[in-house]
Every structure is written in structure tokens, then in C-alpha cells.
Structure 1
Amino acid sequence: MRGMLILIVVAALAWSVYWAVGSTGATKAFEAWFEGRRADGWVAEYSDLTTRGFPNRFDSTFTDVTLADPDTGLAWEAPFFQVFALSYKPNHIIAVWPDHQLIATPQAKYDVTSTDMRASLVTRPAPGLPLERLTLTAEDLAVQPDTTVQPTTADSLTLAAERTTASDSSYRFGLTADGFSPALDWRVKVDPGDTLPDSLEALSLDMTVDFDKPWDLSAIEDARPQPNRIDLKLAEARWGRLELQAAGEVTVDAAGIPTGEITVKARNWRDILRLATDSGALPQAFAGTLEDGLALVSQMAGNPKTLDVPLGLRDGRVFLGPVPLGPAPVLRLR
């Protein structure tokens, strides 16, 4: 019994020393990271940093955090931010955001509120801590730009990402948003007759993206990884009587210009076309001709209410067959 007691005491002391060394190391690593950002010209400040959680966790809490990258114009402010890690598994991290935070871009500032925003993050034990998998959830999410009267909201949002076996820089993403409600000013533009409900019945995304480098610490410190191939397995949105689905594959060049084909399936497509015309997104003079052409396409497919349209992306534009519809989106992450 005496030997067992000595063994327990020694083990407890050894673990206490391990935790003390680990917590001190975690604090110093965070301090060094902020110092490194300031040396790069960032605004990187906090009023306090503490690490607790003995005996099984390293719980680090930042108070009054401010980060601003002068190269991209992105900035973030929060009254606190927490990073939790198991002391016996430090590469599995839980991040917790406050109920209110501020995100600024060169275009606008956004007030972001939620009742519970957190992420579970697993990294590989390698330099730069490359991402292995991530799950981010938020409840009662509201994003309020300083240019709009009402926020865009969602009852709940889940974003999941996982590295695929294809390469170290290939990730599969999944996104679902329940009770997604666009901002009022945007709804008025899209649906001036107020014929659609306030929120979408479904909004989801499933895709695999190959980037030019892995998502790791350098994605924050230096530059975001840029997509060079996107395999869109399914994007879906249901809003009242309208339903859109999209799938396809594109490659993306160094300037962010996509090339490939996306097939769009639209149910009740005439209503969608009418909304585009009423909102001014589609010129009235072109609407009739486009509707006649799409009607022929849908009839050939056997269902006049459903439209399957392959959209080609090439030379920086979107094409319906040989007809150019407009400029293609530029796929660059700031």
C-alpha cells in the first residue's frame, strides 16, 4: 500500500509539472504569435491572456482581442475569444466566440451576433498545424452590415471541412443553414412584390475544393490558400415555390477565373425568371426571348416546369450554349 501511495503521489506530481510546463508553453506560444503579427505590421492586441484548465485541459482566454491585416484590409474585434485543448491531445482544439463580434472588410463592416458559436478543430502534428478536419456551428446567427437596415439571419448554421485523401491541400466542405433569412433590403430588391416567405426552407452545399496550399497557420499569417479546382457535388436552395440545384466542376486559374461547366436545375423556373425581370436584374427587352428559348429547352427535357441548364464558364464569362449571359465570378479569397 505504501508503494502504491508513493507511485500515485509521484504520478500526480509528474502530471502537475507536465501541465504547468504545457500551460506556460501555450501562453508563450500565443504571445509569440501576436508579437510576430505586430512585427509584420498588423494590429494585434489583447488586454489579457490567461490559461487555466488543470488537470486535463489548457483553456486559454483572450480579452479585448483586435486583429487587423493591412495587406488585405480584413479586421476582427471581439470582447473575448477562447481556445480549449485537451492536455493529453493538444492538436484537438475547441474555439469559442463571443455573442457579439465585429468583422471589417474594405467594402463594409459587419456586426455578427449569435447565442453559441464554436468550432471543433483537429490539426495534424506537423509544422504550421495543417488542418485535418473542422466543424463550426452557430445558433441564432445574425450578420448586420453597416450598409443595411436589417441583418441576414439563420436559426442555425453548420460548416464542416475535412481533408481528403487526394492531397494535403484538398478538402471536402459541407454547409447547412436552417431558417436562413436574407436581409430585408435584399429581399425587396429580389422580390419587390413580396410573394416569397421571409426565410428559405433549405440552404445547403456539398463540394470538394483543391487549393494551392494546405490550410494551416500560414493561411492567417501570410495569405489565404486559393482554389484551383472545385467539384460542386450539390448546392441546393428552396425558397417558397422556387427551388434551385447546381452541380458541376470547374478549374480556377491564378487570377481566380473559373473554367468548366455547372448544371443548374430550376423548378418553377418561369417564376424565377419573372423575379429577375421585376427586380431589374434581367432587362425586360431580353426576358421574352430568353423565356421562349428556355421553354423549348424544358419541353425537350419532358417537364415544362423544370429546367436543366448547363452553364459554361470560359474566358471570364458565363455562357448558355453559345449565348453569353454575363461575367463569371472571380474566385479569390482575400
Structure 2
Amino acid sequence: MRTLLSLIILGAIAWSGYWFVGSSGLQTGVAQWFDDRRGEGWLAEYNTHEVQGFPNRFDSHFNNIYLADPGTGWAWTAPEFQINALSYNPGHLIAVWPDQQKLATPIDKYDITSEDMRASIVAENVANLTLNRATITATELDVTDSKGHTAALSSLVLAAERLPESEEAVYRLGLQIDDFKPSLPWKKLIDPSGALPDSLDAINADLTVAFDELWSMEAINTARPQPRNIHIRLVEARWGKLLLQLAGEVSVDSIGYPTGEVTVKARNWKEILELAIASGAVPEGIGGSLKDGLSLLSTLSGNPETLDIPLTFEYGKVKFGPVPLGPAPVLKLR
């Protein structure tokens, strides 16, 4: 009994030493990371950083954190932020965002509120946090721009997992958004007649993306990994009686131009085309001829209400069936 008690005491002392050494190393590593970002020209500050959770957790609590990268025009600030990890499994992190935060992008500034926003991240390499898989969830998420216009959704799930059979930086991505309510200006732009409901029923996506390098803390600190191949298993949006589905594959060059073909399947496609013309996504000058051509194609396919036609990307241009739409989008992460 005395021997057992001695072993328990020794084990407790050893584990306590491990926790305090680990927490000290974590605080030092966080301070060094912020120093490195400032050395690269970032604005990187926080009021306080504490490590709690003894004996089984390393819980990092930040107060008044602020990060800004002038090189990309992105900035983020929050009154608090948490990154939690089990002390016996430091490669599994849980990030917890506050109910209120602010995000600035090259396009606009946004106030973000949510009831519950968090991420679960599993890293292959604890030293540089090479991503193995991650899941981000949010409920009752509202995003308000600088003009006071708000877009909202009831729930969001975004998941990423590195494919185990590939030695390259290939990740499978999944997205599910329920009850998405676009901001009023965007709704009026897309649906000027007000024929559609205020909210999209759902947006779902399942795709595989090959990047030029693995997602890790080191890669994010230097340059964001860029997509080189995108395989869309299915992207689906349901908005009232409208249904839009995409599937296909494109490669992406070093500039960001895609090359390949994505099949577009649309139910009640005439209404979708009218929305695209009203929003400016399809030039008004070709809207009429495009509608006539697509009507013929849909009739030949056997169902005039359903459209099944390729969206082709080539030489920096995009075509919808045989009709040129203009320059292709640049797919580049900043």
C-alpha cells in the first residue's frame, strides 16, 4: 500500500511538472508567434493571455485580441478568444469565438454575431499544426456590413479532411448552410421583383480540392496554399421552387484562372436566368438570345423546365453552353 501511494504521488508530481512546463512553453510560443507577425508588418496585439485547465487541459484565453495583415487587407478583432487542447493530446484543438467579433476585408468591414461558433481541429504535426481534419460550426450567425445591411443563417457546418490515400495536399471539403437570409440589397439585386422567399432553404457542397501545399500554421504565416484542382461532386442551392446543382472538375493555373467544365443543372431555369440577368451576372444584351437557345436545348432534353448544360472555362474566359459570358473568375486565396 505504501509503495502504491508513493507511485501515485510520484506520478502526480511528474504530471504536474509536465503541465506547468507545457503551459509555460505554450505562453512562450504564443508570445513568439505574435512577435514574428509584428516583424512581418502585421498589427498583432492582445491585452492578456492566460493558460488554464490544470491538470488535463491547456486552455488559452485571450482578451481583446487584434490581428491585421496589411499585405492582404484582412483584419480581425474580438473581445475574447479561446483555444483549448487536452494536455495528453495537444494535436486536437478546440477554438471558441465570442458572441461578437469584427472582420475587415478588402471589400468591406463586418460585425459578426452568433450564438455558438467554434471549430475542432486535428493536426498531424503538433510542431507546425499541419491540418488533418477540421470542422467549423455556427448557429444563428449574423453578418452586418458597414452600411448596416445584415445577412443571416440559422446554422453552418464547414468540414475539411485531408485524404489519407494521397501524399499531396488534397482535401475533401463539405459545407451545409440552413435557412440563409441574404442582405436586403443583395436580395433586391438578385430578385428585384420579390418573387422568391426571403431565405434560401439550404446550400450544400461536397468537393475535393488539391492545393499547392499542405495547410499548416507555417503555410498560413507565409503564403496561403492555393487551389490547383477542384473536383465538384455536388454543389446545390434550393431557394423556393428554384433548384440549382453543379458538378464537374477544373484545374487552376498559377494566376488563378480555371480550365475545365462544370455541368449546371437547373430546375425552373428560366426564373434563374431572369435573376442572373437582373443581377448583372449575365449581360442583358445576350439575355434574350441565351434564353431562346437554352429553351431549345431544354426542349430537346425532354423537360423544358429543367436545364442540363456545361459551364466551360478556357483561356481565361467562361461559356455557358455555346454562349460566351465573359472573363472567368480568378480563384486565388489572399
TM-score normalized with structure 2 length: 0.96
* Aligned partners of 1:149 and 1:185 also within 8 Å: no
Question: What aligned pairs does 1:38-187 form with structure 2 within 5 A after superposition?
Answer: 38-125=38-125, 127-146=127-146, 148-164=147-163, 165-187=165-187
What is aligned with 1:219?
219
Secondary structure of 2:288 counterpart: helix
Which whole-Å CA distance do the structure 2 matches of 1:248 and 1:184 have between them? 32
Which shifted more, 134-143 or 322-331?
A: 322-331
Give the AA of the match of 1:179.
Answer: D
Which shifted more, 52-61 or 162-171?
A: 162-171
What is aligned with 1:5?
5
Give the AA of the match of 1:101.
Answer: Q
Secondary structure of 1:179 counterpart: strand
Give the AA of the match of 1:157.
Answer: L
Residue 250 (str. 1) matches residue 250 (str. 2) = yes
TM-score normalized with structure 1 length: 0.96
Secondary structure of 2:194 counterpart: coil
Give the AA of the match of 1:34.
Answer: F
Which whole-Å CA distance do the structure 2 matches of 1:162 and 1:269 have between them? 34
Q: Which runs of no fewer than 5 residues in structure 1 stay unpaired? A: none
Which whole-Å CA distance do the structure 2 matches of 1:161 and 1:47 have between them? 32
Which whole-Å CA distance do the structure 1 matches of 2:315 and 2:44 have between them? 40
* Aligned partners of 1:52 and 1:60 also within 8 Å: yes
Which shifted more, 118-127 or 83-92?
A: 118-127
Which whole-Å CA distance do the structure 2 matches of 1:321 and 1:33 have between them? 50
Q: CA deviation at 1:84?
A: 0.3
Closer, same or farther in 2 for the Cα pair 1:285/1:227, shift >3 Å? Answer: closer
Residue 205 (str. 1) matches residue 205 (str. 2) = yes
Which shifted more, 102-111 or 53-62?
A: 102-111
Which whole-Å CA distance do the structure 2 matches of 1:239 and 1:28 have between them? 50
* Aligned partners of 2:238 and 2:244 also within 8 Å: yes
Question: What aligned pairs does 1:207-286 form with structure 2 within 5 A after superposition?
Answer: 207-279=207-279, 281-286=281-286
Q: CA deviation at 1:4?
A: 1.1
Secondary structure of 1:298 counterpart: helix
Give the AA of the match of 2:256.
Answer: G
Give the AA of the match of 2:151.
Answer: T
Which whole-Å CA distance do the structure 2 matches of 1:284 and 1:25 have between them? 61
Which whole-Å CA distance do the structure 2 matches of 1:276 and 1:288 have between them? 12
Which shifted more, 246-255 or 24-33?
A: 24-33
